[in-house]
Amino acid sequence: MEEKKKKKRKKRQYFTLETQEKIVLYQNTPNKRQKNKIYEQFIMPAFNELVHSLVAVYKFKSPIEDINHLKSDCSTFLYETIHKWNPDKGTKAFSYFNVVAKNWLTINTRRLTKHANRSVSLSDADSMSSADKRRLSEHWVEMSPEDKERKENFPHVVNDMLNYIEEKLKYEKDIRCIKAIRQIFNNVDDLDYLNKRAVFVYLREISGLNSPELSSSLSTIRKHYRKVAGPGKDFELF
């Protein structure tokens, strides 16, 4: 009997031509509810698999943050850059987002590693090097009266700014988002975790918005924030 040739199992493609077509459809769909449906059903799974594959292949890791949080942040970043890919330029969607995700992971894993190497625990003085202690003593200075006053007024200024921005918002989801931001800010001392990913999760739980809706609302709020916050503007936070 002739031996039967074993057929190689074809690897399931997670980012296909259909994915690219759905991204084009997403870009050209004006209705936000339909856009969210397209993203969640067809695009988000491909982005998640793309990021997962890059992390596995290039061994990206973070010494101070759960790698799953890093993956989720990268997928969210890809969502925020969907509008930047232009199908008319001839670049395939997979190639474009593959490069974007790889660059994001490279930059952020390096940043987190650098931050971890610079971090020193004040409660464990024995682990500090002489250089660490010297740098710490150089920065241990008394706060000026102006800085003290600014620090004391900071919570009031932020809340006034959030109230101002809320009045400028038109959509219910954006208002729910900024209310969640205010709640987190006013209860920040009671939070167990306070990194970027944790804040995103808190916002999602409090506002009841899904990830695409939340990212969209945060982008809208950031635009208003840049207009009113900063030196010489309506709200000087720094």
Give domain limits for the chain.
Answer: 17-118, 146-228
List all residues 6 or more positions away from 171 whose beta carbon is below 8 Å from its beta carbon.
217, 220
> How confident is the model at residue 29, as a pLDDT?
95
DSSP annotation string for 93-123: HHHHHHHHHHHHHHHHHHHHHHHHHH---TT
Spatial contact of 51 and 105, defined as CB atoms under 8 Å apart: yes
pTM value is: 0.57
Q: How much is the pLDDT for 120?
A: 53
Q: What is the pLDDT of residue 131?
A: 60
Amino acid sitting at position 16: T
225: helix, strand or coil: helix
Q: Which of 114, 14, 111 is nearest to 54 (CA)?
A: 14
- The pLDDT assigned to 1 comes to 44
**pLDDT in single tens digits along all 238 residues of the chain:** 444 444 555 556 899 999 999 999 999 999 988 998 999 999 999 999 999 999 999 999 877 778 888 898 899 899 989 999 999 999 999 999 999 999 999 998 888 887 766 655 555 555 555 665 555 555 555 667 777 777 788 899 999 999 999 999 999 999 999 999 999 999 887 776 667 777 888 898 899 998 888 988 998 999 999 999 888 888 887 6
